[in-house]
A and B are shown apart, each in its own frame.
Chain A
Amino acid sequence: MPRITLTVNKSHLELVGQVYSPKLTGGATVKFMIDTGSSVTILSLRDAEMMGIDGETLPRSPQKSVGYGGPMELRILENVMLVFAADDVKAKAIELRTVAVQYSPLKDKRVARMLYSVPTVLGTDALTAGEMTLWADWKLAQAHLDYID
């Protein structure tokens, strides 16, 4: 069974992948934090801007979004393919009709540094679409995703 080894960074599970979309010229590198508490994959403000994506030009999410901090505004990037590298050196592609994008209307983004520190999260929509099994052992600091090729 193919496997993608995850990086255990303190208590976070991370993996690096690439994001493809018709709005992008090529594959953009993104570090994802695995978030099984998020039902959707969310591109961070920082990663979206690194890709040259302007949230203002994206459609609003048709669904309302809420977290512990209260309601939040998300935009939508359509027709997205996420690509990851399996340990057997094969690429694992996951297609999603939409990926949410963190959005902030703040004009002076230099003062909103905190917002830019929020990571991109890989939600359960991607784990489900990729038919993945998550295995994690925080005591051993080891984790991976398994899937059927």
Chain B
Amino acid sequence: MSEAGVATPNFSREQAVADIRRSTEDNIWLNAHRDALRAEFANMFVAVYDRKVVGVAEAVEDMKAAIRAKGIDPEKCVTEVLLTEDYIWVL
């Protein structure tokens, strides 16, 4: 237990940093290709891994199945819904 009372998980910090760096590049790639991807996959869930689209579906569970079918862990992907309309987020 940490000072915050959180059960500290067992994980490799080196692996976590490597995964985060890859996912950061995937996010930058997704941002750079957003318009083209949105034109191709309008209103769909899209997953990116290693700067490639590895899953496209109309629902989260279907997308996870498509990613797993490629031997990739869905939890390591950057995902978004590519809506055709731009919304203003009031968070």
Could you list which residues of chain A lie within 8 angstroms of chain B, going by C-beta atoms? 7, 9, 14-18, 20-22, 24, 26-29, 31, 33, 35, 37-38, 46-47, 49-51, 67-69, 79-81, 83-85, 89-91, 95-97, 109-110, 113-114, 116-119, 121, 129
Contacts and interface: CB of A to CB of B under 8 A. Distances in A.
A106 B59 CA distance: 14
Given A16-B26, A90-B13, A121-B91, 4 more contacts: A29-B75, A35-B91, A95-B8, A113-B81
Nearest to A116: B81
A84 B89 CA distance: 24
10 contacts: A16-B20, A16-B27, A29-B19, A49-B60, A83-B13, A90-B13, A96-B6, A110-B58, A116-B45, A117-B87
B20 A29 contact: yes
Interface in B54-80: 58-61, 64, 74-80
Interface residues of B, number: 41
10 nearest A-B residue pairs (beta carbon): A95-B6, A85-B20, A91-B13, A28-B75, A95-B4, A20-B9, A117-B81, A49-B60, A85-B17, A16-B23
Interface of B: 2-9, 11, 13, 16-17, 19-21, 23-24, 26-28, 31, 43, 45, 58-61, 64, 74-81, 83, 87, 89-91
Given A16-B78, A50-B75, A67-B91, A27 B59 contact: no
A113 B4 contact: no
B4 A96 contact: yes
A17 B27 CA distance: 11
Contacts of B24: 7, 15-16, 85
B91 A38 contact: yes
B31 A22 contact: no
A18 B20 contact: yes
B83 A114 contact: yes
Nearest to A86: B17
B81 A27 contact: no
